Amino acid sequence: MNNTKRPFIASISGKGGSGKTTLTALLLKVLLERSSNDSILVVDADPATNLPDVLGLETKRTLGEVIEDFRKKVNEPSFAVGVRKDSVLEYWIIRDCLIEAEKFDLLPMGRGEGEGCYCYVNSILVGIVGKLLRNYDVVLMDMEAGLERLNRRTDRYVNTMLIVVDPSRMGFRTAERILEVIDEVDIRVDKICVVGNRFPANMIEGLYEWADRRGCKVAGVIPEDKLLLEYSINGTSLLNLPSNAPSVEAARLIARKIALID
């Protein structure tokens, strides 16, 4: 656990179906290949909560479900008398939501109950999530498709944003929109990169040209990987992919490029 250094917090966003969850799993895989003792948290910030499945893990409860419970109970006179209410919520989140795998933890966010308001529960939640993230060296966040509505609970902490683009008009359009939203809301991140997914070789140059025009960098391209698709169809954890699978090798290069690994 590292309390002095700033954690490396990367978010992975992009169009629906572009490969956000896949890229998150592949980056986790290359992180776990190293012998480093860095503590790793993976946040599933997509309400569809697909990531545990892709990593072969059982979900406990989502943060959204626990918040809903807390919201219902917090005003009952007998609720947690003599104990700070934010400590109770923090305890519940760690006990009920955090999935502890062998070398990493996973937090499924679930639905963003009442996310639009700045009520008491949301304000303490921001503090709890922030505190939790600071307990890790590396945090990877698999975001909700589109990201038109930025996720207030988590985005504020991100320092590297990866935007997945697939070779489709909508893939590029969504990436454009995400870049505009980042500008509009003046999110301060150290690095914004795009990652091409499933690009055929003859379209890669076009991706680099597009990124150049937009003034952002391409962190790399993940090729179409038949084995990965097979794993995904069979429900085999992507963490079990061989280290020399084309998608894993591409993810390793991306992880180096964004300085996630040496």
Asked if residue 18 binds Mg ion (CB under 5 A), the reply is no
Which span (18-26, 156-164, 171-179, 224-232) binds Mg ion, by CB under 5 A?
18-26
Pick what 222 binds: Mg ion, ligand ATP, none; C-beta below 5 to 8 Å, kind-dependent: ligand ATP
Written in H, E and C, the secondary structure of 62-91 is CHHHHHHHHHHHCCCCCCCCCCCHHHHHHH
Which single residue is written with the structure tokens 């320092």? 159
**Cβ atoms within 10 Å of 141's Cβ, excluding its own:** 28
Give me the least distance between CB of 108 and Mg ion, in Å please.
12
CB-nearer residue toward ligand ATP: 21 or 151 = 21
Give me the least distance between CB of 86 and Mg ion, in Å please.
30
Pick what 74 binds: ligand ATP, Mg ion, none; C-beta below 5 to 8 Å, kind-dependent: none
CB-nearer residue toward Mg ion: 108 or 223 = 108
Q: Any bridge partners for residue 76, and if so which?
A: none
Would you say 195 and 222 are in contact if contact means Cβ atoms under 8 Å apart?
A: yes
Pick what 16 binds: ligand ATP, Mg ion, none; C-beta below 5 to 8 Å, kind-dependent: ligand ATP
Residues between 29 and 88 that touch Mg ion (CB under 5 A): 50
**According to CB under 5 A, which one of 18, 21, 122, 151 is a site residue for Mg ion?**
21
Give me the least distance between CB of 196 and ligand ATP, in Å please.
10
Closest C-alpha among 202, 243, 217, 212 to residue 32: 243
Pick what 228 binds: ligand ATP, Mg ion, none; C-beta below 5 to 8 Å, kind-dependent: ligand ATP
The backbone region for 110, taken as left when phi is positive above 0, alpha when psi lies in -120 to 50, beta otherwise, is left
Strands 160-165 and 191-197: parallel
Q: Give residues in contact with ligand ATP (CB under 6 A).
A: 14, 16-22, 46, 48, 50, 145, 197-198, 222, 224-225, 228-229, 232, 247
CB-nearer residue toward Mg ion: 24 or 122 = 24
With 0-12 CB in 10 A as exposed, 13-18 as middle and 19+ as buried, what is 47? middle
Q: Any bridge partners for residue 108, and if so which?
A: 44
Give me the least distance between CB of 159 and ligand ATP, in Å please.
21
Q: Any bridge partners for residue 197, and if so which?
A: 222
In the complex, the residues that contact Mg ion under the rule CB under 5 A are 20-21, 50
